[in-house]
Structure 1
C-alpha cells in the first residue's frame, strides 16, 4: 500500500504539479520531437526513485518512466481537439495501472525517510490529489458544457481565481473530513451558494447555473471521497 502511495505521489508531482503548461503545449505541437517530453520522462524516473528511497527500485523507476513516455506519445499522436477529454482519462487510467503493475512486480520492503512516516505519505498524496490534478480533471470533464458566457473574458474577474477558489474549498472540505466536522462542509457549501447567487441571478442563464452546479458538486464530491479514503487508510496504518 505505501509503495503505491509513494508512486502515486511521484505521478501527481510529475504529471501535474511540476509540469508547466508550456511543456504540455510544446509536447502537443512537437510530439516526439519535443525536448520537454524527455524532461517529463526523466522527471518521473527521478521522482519515483527518490520517493521510494531504495537503490534496488531504480530499474523499476526507469520502467515507470519509459512506459509513461510511451503512453504519453500514444495520447499525443492520436488525440484530437474533440477527443482530448477521452484521451486524458484513458492516459491517467493507463498510468495508474502501470503503477499497480510495478507494485505487484516489485518484491521487497521500501524504507521510509526519517522525517516521513507512512501516515504522512498518505496525507501528502491526498492533499496533492485534490489541488491541481483535481482542477484539471474537473475542467477537462465539464469543458464540453462550458456556456458561451464563460468563454468571454470578464474584466471584473481575477485571472484564474475560480481555479484557486476550487482548490481552497477542497482543502477545507478535506480538513473537515479528517477532523470529523462534517457540519462545516454544509456551512461552506451554503456560503458558496450565497456568494454565487447574485452572479447567477444577474446572468439569467440556466446553462451557466447548471454548469456552476456541476463543477461545485464534482469539486465537493471529489474532496469528500478523497478525505474519506485517506481517513480510512490512516486508521488502518495506526
Structure 2
C-alpha cells in the first residue's frame, strides 16, 4: 500500500504540481514533436524512482515513464476540444491502472536509499492531492456547465481567489477529520454558504449559483473522502 501511495505522490507531482500550463499548451500544439512531452516523461520516471527509493525499482520506474509517455501521446493525438474532459478522465485512469499493475508485480528487495516514515507519505500525498490536482479535476469535470457570464463576475474579485479558497477549505476539512473535529466541517460549509451564496444571490445569476454549488459540493466530498481514507491508513499503522 505504501508503494502505491509513493507512486501516486510521484504522479501528482509530475502531472499537476511540476507541470506548468505552458508545457501542456506546447504538447497539445506540437504533440510528439514537443520537447516538453519528453521532459514530462523523464520527470515522472525520476520522481517514481526517487520517491520509492529502492535500487531494484529503477527498471519499474523507467517502465512507468515509458508507459506514461505512450498514454499521454495517445491522448494528445485523439482528443479534441469537445472531448478533452473525457480524455482527461481516461488518461488519469490509465495512469492509475499502470501504477497499480507495477505495485502488484514489484518485488521489494529492501535496498533503500531514500526513506521516511510511512505516516509522512500518507500525509504528504493527501495534502498534495487537495491542492492543484483536485482543483484541476473539479474544473475539468464541471466545465460542461461553465456559465457564459462567469467571467463577468470575476472583475470584482481577486485573481484566482476562488481556486485558493477551494484549496484552503479542502485542507481544513482534511485537518478537521484527522483531528476528530467533524463538527467543524459543517461550520466551515455553513460559513462559506453565507458569504459566497449571498453574493451569488445578489448577482441574480441562477446558472452561476448552481455552478458554484456543484463545485463546492464536489470539493467538500473529495476532501471528506480523502480525509477518511487518510485517517483509516494512519490508524492501520498504529
Task: Classify the TM-score, shorter chain.
Answer: over 0.9
Task: Deviation per CA, 1:10-39: give whole Å up to 9, x if none.
Answer: 000000000000000000000000000000
Structure 1 residue ranges (4+ consecutive) displaced by more than 2 angstroms after TM superposition: 109-114, 151-155
Q: Tell me which residue corresponds to 2:206.
A: 206
Task: Deviation per CA, 1:144-195: give whole Å up to 9, x if none.
Answer: 1011111336321111111111000000000000000001001100110111
Structure 2 distance, partners of 1:152, 1:39, is 37
Structure 2 distance, partners of 1:232, 1:30, is 44
CA offset at residue 109 of structure 1? Answer: 4.6
Structure 2 distance, partners of 1:35, 1:113, is 29
Q: Tell me which residue corresponds to 2:37.
A: 37
TM-score normalized by structure 1?
Answer: 0.97
Q: Tell me which residue corresponds to 2:139.
A: 139
CA offset at residue 217 of structure 1? Answer: 0.3
Structure 2 distance, partners of 1:33, 1:199, is 46
Q: SS of the residue aligned with 1:152? A: helix
Structure 1 distance, partners of 2:126, 2:11, is 13
Q: SS of the residue aligned with 1:30? A: helix
Count the aligned residue pairs.
237
Could you tell me whether the CA contact under 8 Å between 2:177 and 2:224 is conserved in 1?
yes
Question: Where in structure 2 are the equivalents of 1:125-164 lying within 5 Å?
Answer: 125-152=125-152, 154-164=154-164
Does residue 49 of structure 1 match 2:63?
no
Could you tell me whether the CA contact under 8 Å between 1:112 and 1:118 is conserved in 2?
no
Q: Tell me which residue corresponds to 1:59.
A: 59
CA offset at residue 234 of structure 1? Answer: 0.7
Task: Deviation per CA, 1:42-95: give whole Å up to 9, x if none.
Answer: 000100010111111111000000000000000000001111110000000000
Question: Where in structure 2 are the equivalents of 1:89-168 lying within 5 Å?
Answer: 89-110=89-110, 111=112, 113-114=114-115, 116-152=116-152, 154-168=154-168
Structure 1 distance, partners of 2:37, 2:152, is 32
Could you tell me whether the CA contact under 8 Å between 1:17 and 1:132 is conserved in 2?
yes
Could you tell me whether the CA contact under 8 Å between 2:122 and 2:230 is conserved in 1?
yes
Q: 5+ unaligned residues in a row in structure 1: which ranges?
A: none
Could you tell me whether the CA contact under 8 Å between 1:10 and 1:51 is conserved in 2?
yes
Could you tell me whether the CA contact under 8 Å between 1:5 and 1:122 is conserved in 2?
yes
Structure 1 distance, partners of 2:89, 2:73, is 15
Q: Tell me which residue corresponds to 1:234.
A: 234
Q: CA RMSD in A?
A: 1.2
Structure 2 distance, partners of 1:82, 1:60, is 35
Structure 1 distance, partners of 2:160, 2:77, is 29
